[in-house]
Amino acid sequence: MQKPSVAELRPVVHPAGVKDRRSGEHWAGRLYMREISLRIDRHLVNTRVTPNQLTYLMTLFGVLAAPALLVPGIWGAVLGVVAVQLYLLLDCVDGEIARWKKQYSLAGVYLDRVGAYLCDAAVLVGFGLRAADLWGTGRIDWLWAFLGTLAALGAVLIKAETDLVGVARHQTGKPPVQESASAPRSSGLALARRAASALQFHRLVLGIEASLLILVLAIVDTARGDLFFSRLGVAVLAGIALLQTVLHLVSILASSRLK
């Protein structure tokens, strides 16, 4: 069977609004990954590969970021970035294949969210273990492993706070939340939210951004010959994750999403 062209695939797998979703599309997807995924799609749409199989593979690559980061030096950080980029690629491809084949399922949506949770957590736990210097000649400092796990917990809780809005609305018979309902009712909170959105500091605890930060810190640490900046990065990410967990919860309660 002849493979569809990218031009044939695009209007079907990238319907209007896919790249413009405020909370559903990552900047890397808009910037480059959606174009790469189209080239992968054309080789898969006529095969027996299912969207859910791709989602399982996506999750596997996300989880593999943790052991990848345990490889000492720059190469471990590079492997972590590669694992997360493959996760992101498959996160695009599974949905696009589902649209082309019209193979939609609640299980697919659920598995996709589980994969997102696990990828973010794996990167941050792996970062903490990396900073603890598991393979070093000195004493392992478990403080950094603890802080990395704390950052991972915060990242997971932030996602859970968002997802639980949908759960609460469903259980009370309300329709899905509208984008406009996410705006805080308080002008002060609205201003704070706009400031946080402009700074984007909260995105550092997401797997994709965190993996890129880890690579930059690994390069600097290699030049220094120690783990100072990686350890500083773990502490900063733990602080951001905990702060954002609280702020995000307040933002949800102060908006109309639970009304």
Report which secondary-structure segment, H or E, holds 171. helix 142-171
- pLDDT for position 26: 80
- Using DSSP, state whether 56 is helix, strand or coil: helix
Q: What is the pTM of this model?
A: 0.90
Instruction: Map out the domains of the chain with their CATH numbers.
Output: 6-254 (1.20.120.1760)
**Lowest pLDDT segment from 30-34, 77-81, 147-151, 177-181:** 177-181
Mean pLDDT value of segment 25-36? 88
Residues 167-204 have pLDDT tens digits of 999 999 999 887 655 555 555 545 545 544 544 677 89
Position with higher pLDDT, 199 vs 26? 26
CA distance 108 to 64: 20
Q: How far is CA 51 from CA 8, 42, 87, 99, 243, in A?
A: 19, 14, 14, 9, 36
pLDDT digits (tens, 9 = 90+) for 82-129: 999 999 999 999 999 999 999 999 999 999 999 999 999 999 999 999
For the record, the structure tokens of 129 come out as 């273990």
**Which tens digit of pLDDT belongs to each residue from 49-71?**
999 999 999 999 999 999 999 99
* pLDDT score recorded for residue 23: 56
Residues 6+ apart with CB under 8 A from 97: 13, 41, 44, 45, 49, 50, 51, 54, 103
The strand ranges marked E within 62-201 are none
